[in-house]
């Protein structure tokens, strides 16, 4: 194969220019500190370091690069892509898209005509460049003292072995493989093994129930699943294998057979204690080490699908978001590099699980594409004590910590002593993602955790966007607590009113994206119409994000939260319709409506109104069993925080549930209910209020 980019210099022309300019700035070191809104000040040393590493000296530099990226996306991304290994280079007119439903099929094509392999770029490329003995994964187990180090060379070999096993059971390019694993090294390894073969992985977060897992396997027709005998989260055992068995049963009843399950033996559930389906189940420890440690990569087209990830929306079943290979690769690497100032060999820790998009892009692909050393932590942040995270930061000398507001709030609630017990002088960049970060949590992260030394990178993005879309760059411009600030290269955000009219200047509106970007969602598995309807039918020619947003006179974007019926619980997206369906499937429930309410730690909690069948009593036992039904249908993270018994639900005459009213009742804002006269039965409102329960 001809590897066009193979011998290309690591730095593209653009970056080389930047790096030179960076050293010039280093020479005339500025002494002016960046002023932060609210008194926080990032010392200029951070800026100087970042400038030296990326070549961005100021907002003006950023503006120049940004302009280039949106005016000439083909050239901009092409320059960067040249630093990767391609078997075949993309065509000159590789960048094309249509976001306007009325002009035909909605589509994005980037690096069209090019052929590459992302696993090769994550591993082989670095090993060939002499990084084989550099640590790739620093794994910390649930319990203190459990650890594992894997170098780039070792990870490459293990990925090849798993890929060879996948081949041996018939997995081929384009096949979907389900992955249902705890956060152990085998999780990113399994992802990369699929990728190496051009197979499409579908990682299902190990907190999802058997029903959810089955639904996902059926939807993407995955016949092979990679799982573990069990797992530990804090002091709780997770019966992973039993869930897989139950899921396989549910799938079989619906006509979908799981042929093979590759099972990693987890100390929480050793052999002998693990249920086993002979013929289907294979121990990882028996099958994988026997495989060859090399495996030819399958070169794939840039637009071939890389992975599927299911996510919730306001209606219907979870959607299988499809990401493609080339654009995602370049987007993941570039955002990780610029947003987190990531350089080869840096110790980097993203606390997300690979079951969510953050774990895909910023635990697996982004850092590996940048040859970083990745910390992976299997357990929960407060186990066995509230200083576990800080202990890991100290032990591994973490430079970049990328985490979520819900975690930051939970850690803050434990008090500063736990943090201060540990040396955090290695930290340079702190990142946040998943939900709006409240200024208080932002300041705690900045002042206490980062000792006012580390910029806080509040990154806004989504499963569908694949990579960070709006985010500060470390020290490049003044930050503002709670604001994601400015768009990343190639991203053109617009704010519109509810009629779709574009709003200019400092204003508030619905956030949409104009133009496409490399890691954009390409389709929904098996349902391109649904893809077009969900994201491109609300406003003509624009990608609809579902988020509300404010823009100030500095051009900074601040996300205000979802404008649709999606609830963000601890940074996890939960669709109201799914929770309602799970409740309604319970025999005691006639009808249910779910709304999000503010929650001190989780950001949003789930508040469910349940109308009971006539012969049912609103008892504690019924409440518990309704919550259990949601756990069973979706997973524990979607369990309602409050069940509010309702004699009926407020509906319009056409039968639409008025969630606006339910949201107000949930927060005791009875005086703000507004006009209820349009309801089919206005008396239901008072009846619901009279049955109010204790708040969260």
Q: Which stretch binds ligand PRX (CB under 6 A): 38-46, 157-165, 541-549, 688-696?
A: 541-549
Which residues, in sequence order, are bridge partners of residue 140? 147, 377
Question: Closest CB to ligand PRX among 458 and 479?
Answer: 458
Residues 556-615 close enough to bind ligand PRX by CB under 6 A: 559, 562, 568, 573
Task: Name the strand (E) or helix (H) holding 211.
Answer: helix 210-220
Assess 546 for contact with ligand PRX (CB under 6 A). yes
Among 87, 458, 479, 578, contact with ligand PRX (rule: CB under 6 A):
458
How many residues in the shown chain lie near ligand PRX by CB under 6 A?
A: 21
Residues 35-74 close enough to bind ligand PRX by CB under 6 A: none
- How does DSSP classify residue 41? E
Sign of the CA dihedral with 404 first, then 408, 411, and 413 last:
negative
| HEC readout, 156-167 | HHHHHHHHHHHH
Assess 407 for contact with ligand PRX (CB under 6 A). no
In the set 301, 346, 564, 565, the catalytic residue is 564
**How many angstroms separate the Cα of 464 from the Cα of each of 161, 178, 292, 435?**
31, 19, 36, 15
Assess 287 for contact with ligand PRX (CB under 6 A). no
Neighbours of 25 (CB within 10 A): 18
CB 542 within 8 A of CB 496: yes
Who's near 72: CB < 8 A, 6+ residues apart? none
Rounded CA gap, 354 and 335, in Å? 18
Among 227, 311, 406, 570, contact with ligand PRX (rule: CB under 6 A):
311
Give buried/exposed letters for 614-625 (b at 16+ CB in 10 A, else e): eebeeeeebbee
Q: Residue with CB nearest ligand PRX?
A: 463
Nearest to 426 by CA among 445, 398, 392, 389: 398
Assess 461 for contact with ligand PRX (CB under 6 A). yes
Among 212, 215, 222, 459, contact with ligand PRX (rule: CB under 6 A):
459
Question: Closest CB to ligand PRX among 222 and 335?
Answer: 335
Assess 651 for contact with ligand PRX (CB under 6 A). no
Residues 215-254 close enough to bind ligand PRX by CB under 6 A: none
Nearest to 263 by CA among 168, 190, 204: 190
Print the binding letters for residues 330-369 with ligand PRX: x by CB under 6 A, - otherwise.
Answer: ---------------------------xx-----------
Residues in the chain: 696
176-180 β-sheet, strand order: 281-283, 260-264, 224-228, 176-180, 200-203, 305-311, 319-324, 523-524
Rounded CA gap, 412 and 406, in Å? 10
Peptide bond into 491 cis (omega under 30): no
Rounded CA gap, 50 and 45, in Å? 8
**Strand boundaries in 584-641, DSSP class E:** 589-599, 603-612
Which residues, in sequence order, are bridge partners of residue 608? 594, 643
Q: Which stretch binds ligand PRX (CB under 6 A): 278-286, 430-438, 624-632, 659-667?
A: 430-438
Question: Closest CB to ligand PRX among 222 and 485?
Answer: 485
Assess 433 for contact with ligand PRX (CB under 6 A). yes
Question: Closest CB to ligand PRX among 47 and 463?
Answer: 463
Question: Closest CB to ligand PRX among 460 and 645?
Answer: 460
Q: Which stretch binds ligand PRX (CB under 6 A): 66-74, 142-150, 410-418, 434-442?
A: 434-442
Least distance CB 334 / ligand PRX (angstroms) = 16
Residues 471-530 close enough to bind ligand PRX by CB under 6 A: 484
Question: Closest CB to ligand PRX among 337 and 573?
Answer: 573
564 noted as active-site residue: yes
Question: Closest CB to ligand PRX among 154 and 435?
Answer: 435
Assess 543 for contact with ligand PRX (CB under 6 A). no
Among 463, 480, 485, 523, contact with ligand PRX (rule: CB under 6 A):
463
Rounded CA gap, 679 and 652, in Å? 4
Provide the 3-class DSSP secondary structure of residue 592: strand
Question: Closest CB to ligand PRX among 445 and 684?
Answer: 445
Rounded CA gap, 259 and 641, in Å? 38
Among 198, 381, 434, 475, contact with ligand PRX (rule: CB under 6 A):
434
CB 254 within 8 A of CB 260: no
Q: Which stretch binds ligand PRX (CB under 6 A): 165-173, 340-348, 454-462, 579-587?
A: 454-462
Question: Closest CB to ligand PRX among 58 and 314?
Answer: 314
Active-site residues, by number, are: 564
Q: Which residues bind ligand PRX (CB under 6 A)?
A: 311, 357-358, 433-436, 458-463, 484, 545-547, 559, 562, 568, 573
């Amino acid at each position: 194969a001809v590897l066009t980019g193979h011998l290309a210099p690591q730095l593209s022309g653009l970056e080389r220019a930047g790096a030179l300019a960076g050293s010039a700035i280093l020479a005339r070191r500025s002494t002016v500190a960046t002023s932060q809104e609210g008194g926080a000040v990032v010392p200029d040393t951070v800026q100087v370091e970042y400038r030296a590493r990326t070549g961005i000296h100021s907002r003006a530099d950023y503006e120049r690069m940004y302009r280039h990226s949106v005016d000439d996306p083909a050239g901009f991304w092409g320059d960067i892509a040249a630093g990767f290994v391609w078997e075949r280079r993309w065509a000159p007119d590789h960048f094309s898209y249509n976001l306007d439903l009325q002009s035909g099929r909605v589509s994005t094509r980037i690096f069209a005509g090019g052929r590459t392999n992302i696993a090769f770029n994550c591993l082989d490329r670095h090993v060939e460049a002499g990084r084989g003995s550099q640590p790739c994964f620093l794994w910390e187990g649930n319990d203190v003292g459990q650890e594992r180090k894997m170098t780039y060379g070792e990870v490459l070999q293990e990925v090849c072995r798993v890929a060879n096993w996948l081949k041996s059971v018939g997995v081929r390019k384009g096949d979907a493989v389900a992955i249902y694993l705890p956060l152990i090294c085998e999780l990113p390894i399994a992802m990369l093994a699929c990728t190496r073969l051009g197979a499409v992985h579908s990682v299902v977060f190990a907190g999802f129930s058997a029903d959810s897992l089955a639904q996902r396997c059926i939807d993407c027709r995955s016949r092979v699943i990679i799982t573990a005998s069990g797992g530990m989260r804090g002091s709780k055992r997770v019966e992973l294998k039993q869930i897989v068995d139950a899921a396989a049963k549910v799938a079989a009843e619906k006509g979908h057979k799981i042929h093979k399950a590759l099972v990693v033996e987890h100390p929480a559930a050793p052999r002998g204690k693990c249920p086993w389906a002979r013929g289907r189940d294979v121990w990882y420890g028996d099958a994988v080490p026997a495989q060859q440690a090399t495996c030819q990569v399958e070169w794939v087209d840039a637009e071939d699908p890389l992975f599927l990830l299911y996510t919730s929306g306001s209606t219907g079943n979870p959607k299988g978001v499809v990401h493609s290979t080339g654009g995602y690769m370049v987007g993941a690497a570039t955002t990780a590099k610029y947003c987190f100032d990531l350089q080869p060999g840096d110790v980097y820790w993203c606390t997300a699980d690979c079951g969510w998009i953050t774990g895909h892009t910023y635990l697996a692909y982004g850092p590996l594409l940048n040859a970083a050393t990745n910390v992976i932590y299997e357990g929960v942040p407060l186990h066995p004590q509230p200083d576990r995270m800080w202990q890991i930061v100290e032990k591994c000398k973490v430079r970049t910590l990328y985490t979520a507001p819900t975690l930051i709030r939970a850690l803050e609630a434990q008090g500063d002593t736990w943090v201060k017990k540990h040396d955090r002088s290695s930290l340079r960049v702190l990142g946040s993602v998943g939900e709006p970060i409240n200024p208080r949590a932002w300041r705690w992260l900045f002042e206490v955790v980062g000792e006012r030394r580390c910029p806080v990178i509040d990154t806004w993005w989504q499963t569908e966007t694949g990579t960070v879309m709006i985010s500060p760059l470390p020290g490049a411009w003044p930050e503002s607590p709670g604001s994601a600030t400015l768009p990343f290269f190639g991203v053109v955000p617009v704010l519109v009113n509810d009629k779709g009219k574009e709003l200019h200047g400092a204003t508030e509106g619905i956030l949409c994206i104009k133009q496409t970007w490399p890691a954009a969602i390409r389709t929904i598995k098996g349902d391109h119409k649904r893809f077009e309807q969900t994201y491109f039918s609300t406003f003509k020619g624009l990608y609809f994000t579902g988020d509300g947003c404010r823009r100030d006179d500095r051009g900074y974007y601040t996300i205000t939260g979802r404008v649709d019926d999606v609830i963000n619980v601890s940074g996890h997206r939960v669709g109201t319709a799914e929770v309602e369906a799970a409740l309604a499937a319970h025999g005691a429930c006639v009808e249910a409506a779910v709304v999000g309410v503010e929650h001190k730690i989780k950001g949003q909690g789930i508040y469910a109104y349940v109308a009971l069948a006539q012969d049912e009593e609103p008892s504690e036992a019924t409440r518990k069993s309704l919550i259990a039904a949601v756990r069973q249908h979706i997973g524990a993270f979607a369990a309602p925080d409050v069940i509010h018994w309702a004699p009926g639900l407020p509906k319009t005459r056409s039968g639409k549930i008025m969630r606006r009213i339910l949201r107000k009742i949930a927060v005791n804002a009875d005086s703000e209910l507004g006009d209820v006269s349009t309801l089919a039965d206005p008396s239901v409102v008072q009846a619901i209020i009279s049955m109010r329960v204790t708040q969260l």
